[in-house]
Amino acid sequence: MSAILNRRSVPQHLLTLDHRPSSTGIVHLGLGNFHRAHQAVYTAQAGDWGILGVASRSATVADALNAQDGLYSVLELSPEGSSVTVPGVHTGAIVAAHDPAAVVAAIAAEDTRIVSLTVTEHGYCMDPSSHRLALDHPGIVADLNSPAPVTVIGQVSRALELRATTHGRPLTVLNCDNMQSNGTQTRALILEFLRAANSPAADWVADQITFPNSMVDRIVPATTDAYRAAAYELLGVDDRITVPAEPFTMWVMEDRFAAGRPAWERAGAVFTDDVEAYELIKLRLLNGTHSLIAYLGALDGRATIPEARAQDFIEYAAGAVLQDEYLPSITLPNGFDVEAYVESLFQRWSNDALGHRTQQVGTDGSVKLPQRVPLPALRLLDQGVMPEHLALTVAAWLCCVVPMPGFDPGPHAHAMVDPARDRLGALADGKPQELVRKACAQVFPTQLAQSNEFVQRVAEYVAVIRTDGVRAAARQAARSRTPHQPPAPPAA
Ligand code: CS2
């Protein structure tokens, strides 16, 4: 049996932080692959800031991380080659579902200066129509009456309350999920929770706690045995929890930290007040287009994003949704080279050494698409233009996760996990028009769900995918496309 990765067996030259961190300044909720290939990598390069990792439910990563002395490897993969590093920045790991009170205590500890979050879009318990806290969410209902909260919003809120009533030290809550205005939204959700709980700490939180907005970016697939074997080749020891990642990485955030922060700029993080523009660029051009590639790809039998993107009809649809429908909805920061950015996106989606799966990007569409599709779609609808490829995105998603009777979307679509799958599945027996109308009402903000023309167009694409296949639907969208006209230059 080969040796396990730990402080004794790790090849020292691969360690980013060469000593065990002396204290825990950051409590991080969401110990998935993304955090471990992104924020943890930046933190390891930024000095002596330890991270306590909190897994939400599964003990797999937390147990392995503890057994490996807080170590794991990041396996960087590209067609040019592969390499591995070991950040070495975690001081331990716990599982929230096993011990919610320990999570509250860790966030409330005096030494904790930042609580950061990658709990995915559905970890925030938002009402899809209003984007406010879902006060009827069973977890929120329970947390409003319990000292051992089960939701992330409940855990952070109760911990802030505890800080307020004990040592009173400020803290930063840093959302690192793909949500628009992620810091501002988190602040609103936490204040809503505290006010609904009649907590006297609400005003203290509003004053003392900062919630910087941030944009995070790195493509990070799920770990498989093939990645573990590749990491073993480079490490010479076994790492049960290696994280595969692309070489590209980007992090842009507001510099509003109430109790200090690591020098993340040493690792290339950018601090700016103009985060919203970067968030929109990332959420729409990358994530929005990614969703379309994933759903079209899965319906076309493609296992990975690079295989999907290599199909001419998908490359065309990706270019169309990006150029005609997402890009015009964004005001670019001064000096931003959008052509180079778009070219780099297509290159990143072509990384076949990474093999990012369509199933992974297609997972959780009911909570990802509301962050990506509605505002750009409404903007065009207001101008009298039908956003054909956004309608196709929604139709392809529905065909993947709520296939109508007699339609088999294939194995990659079946493998997509979606919190709304069962709820929406009950709608599959009706006509496409009914299915789409009810599904949009459950998932999207009211304004989009009530756009009859949009709902009608999505339903048409659902019907075409079902009877003639995804390629026929993409051909129809290409024929109906309204290419974006850049605004005319002002008259001299
Ligand atoms: C993807 C993202 O799964 C998805 O929806 O679009 O996880 C994407 O890979 C990352 O945001 C890249 O930074």
Mutate to test the pocket of ligand 1, among 41, 361, 368 (most ligand atoms within 8 A of CB): 361
Does 326 lie in the same domain as 475? yes
Q: Kindly state the DSSP code that residue 330 receives in the 8-state scheme.
A: -
Does 182 lie in the same domain as 247? yes
Ligand 1 binding pocket (C-beta < 6 A) is 178, 217-219, 287, 290, 360-361, 368
Closest by CA to 391, choosing from 463, 469, 283, is 463
Q: Which residues pair with 27 in a beta bridge?
A: 52, 115
The span from the CA of 235 to the CA of 92, in Å, is: 22
Instruction: Tell how far the Cα of 361 is from the centroid of ligand 1, in angstroms.
Output: 6
Instruction: Tell how far the Cα of 206 is from the centroid of ligand 1, in angstroms.
Output: 31
User: Does residue 1 sit within a domain?
Assistant: no
User: Does residue 189 sit within a domain?
Assistant: yes
pTM: 0.96
Ligand 1 atom with the shortest distance to the CA of 286: 6
Does 263 lie in the same domain as 334? no
User: Does residue 359 sit within a domain?
Assistant: yes
Instruction: Tell how far the Cα of 77 is from the centroid of ligand 1, in angstroms.
Output: 16
Residues 6 or more apart whose CB falls under 8 angstroms from that of 279 comprise 180, 181, 182, 213, 214, 215
Q: What range does the domain containing 198 cover? A: 12-271
User: Does residue 488 sit within a domain?
Assistant: no
The span from the CA of 309 to the CA of 294, in Å, is: 9
User: Does residue 2 sit within a domain?
Assistant: no
What the block records as the tokens of 35 is 């955090």
Residues 6 or more apart whose CB falls under 8 angstroms from that of 220 comprise 33, 34, 37, 38, 243, 244, 245, 246
Instruction: Tell how far the Cα of 250 is from the centroid of ligand 1, in angstroms.
Output: 13
Amino acid letter for position 114? I
**Tell me, what's the pLDDT at 131?**
85
Tell the residue nearest (CA) to atom 13 of ligand 1: 217
Specify the pairing of strand 250-253 against strand 214-217: antiparallel
Ligand 1 atom with the shortest distance to the CA of 368: 5
Number of folded domains in the chain? Answer: 2
What the block records as the tokens of 207 is 């004053």
Does 282 lie in the same domain as 226? no
Mutate to test the pocket of ligand 1, among 42, 287, 371 (most ligand atoms within 8 A of CB): 287
Does 461 lie in the same domain as 376? yes
- Domain end, chosen from 271, 292, 316, is at 271
Tell the residue nearest (CA) to atom 3 of ligand 1: 361
3-state secondary structure of 153: helix
Does 258 lie in the same domain as 211? yes
Does 54 lie in the same domain as 200? yes
Ligand 1 atom with the shortest distance to the CA of 290: 6
Instruction: Tell how far the Cα of 20 is from the centroid of ligand 1, in angstroms.
Output: 31
Instruction: Tell how far the Cα of 139 is from the centroid of ligand 1, in angstroms.
Output: 26
User: Does residue 78 sit within a domain?
Assistant: yes
**Tell me, what's the pLDDT at 334?**
87
Q: What is the CATH number of the domain that holds 361?
A: 1.10.1040.10
The span from the CA of 26 to the CA of 112, in Å, is: 6
The span from the CA of 142 to the CA of 152, in Å, is: 12
Residues 6 or more apart whose CB falls under 8 angstroms from that of 344 comprise 248
Q: What is the CATH number of the domain that holds 72?
A: 3.40.50.720
Instruction: Tell how far the Cα of 253 is from the centroid of ligand 1, in angstroms.
Output: 18
User: 168: buried, middle or exposed (CB in 10 Å: 19+, 13-18, 0-12)?
Assistant: exposed
Does 363 lie in the same domain as 458? yes
Does 197 lie in the same domain as 288? no
Where are the alpha helices (H) located in 166-274, listed in sequence order? 182-196, 202-208, 225-235
User: Does residue 386 sit within a domain?
Assistant: yes
pLDDT tens track of the chain, all 492 residues? 689 999 999 999 999 999 999 999 999 999 999 999 999 999 999 989 999 999 999 999 999 999 999 999 999 999 999 999 999 999 999 999 999 999 999 999 999 999 999 999 999 999 978 889 999 999 999 999 988 899 999 999 999 999 999 999 999 999 999 999 999 999 999 999 999 999 999 999 999 999 999 999 999 999 999 999 999 999 999 999 999 999 999 999 999 999 999 999 999 999 999 999 999 999 999 999 999 999 999 999 999 999 999 999 999 999 999 999 999 999 998 899 999 999 999 999 999 999 999 999 999 999 999 999 999 999 999 999 999 999 999 999 999 999 989 999 999 999 999 999 999 998 888 889 999 999 999 999 999 999 999 999 999 999 999 999 999 999 999 999 988 876 666 665
The maximal CA–CA distance of the chain, rounded, in angstroms, is 76
Instruction: Tell how far the Cα of 443 is from the centroid of ligand 1, in angstroms.
Output: 19
Does 222 lie in the same domain as 204? yes
- Domain end, chosen from 271, 286, 314, is at 271
Tell the residue nearest (CA) to atom 9 of ligand 1: 219
Ligand 1 atom with the shortest distance to the CA of 217: 13
* 3-state DSSP of 408-471: CCCHHHHCCCCCCHHHHHCCCCCCHHHHHHHHHHHHCCHHHHCCHHHHHHHHHHHHHHHHHCHH
Does 382 lie in the same domain as 416? yes
The span from the CA of 187 to the CA of 183, in Å, is: 6
| CB neighbour burial string for 401-416, b if at least 16 within 10 angstroms, e if fewer | bbbbeeeebbebbebb
Instruction: Tell how far the Cα of 58 is from the centroid of ligand 1, in angstroms.
Output: 21
Side-chain-side CA neighbours of residue 477 (13 Å):
36
- Domain end, chosen from 220, 249, 271, is at 271
Ligand 1 atom with the shortest distance to the CA of 364: 5
Does 368 lie in the same domain as 224? no
**Tell me, what's the pLDDT at 434?**
93
The span from the CA of 206 to the CA of 372, in Å, is: 28
User: Does residue 323 sit within a domain?
Assistant: yes
Instruction: Tell how far the Cα of 454 is from the centroid of ligand 1, in angstroms.
Output: 25
**Tell me, what's the pLDDT at 205?**
98
Mutate to test the pocket of ligand 1, among 178, 366, 367 (most ligand atoms within 8 A of CB): 178
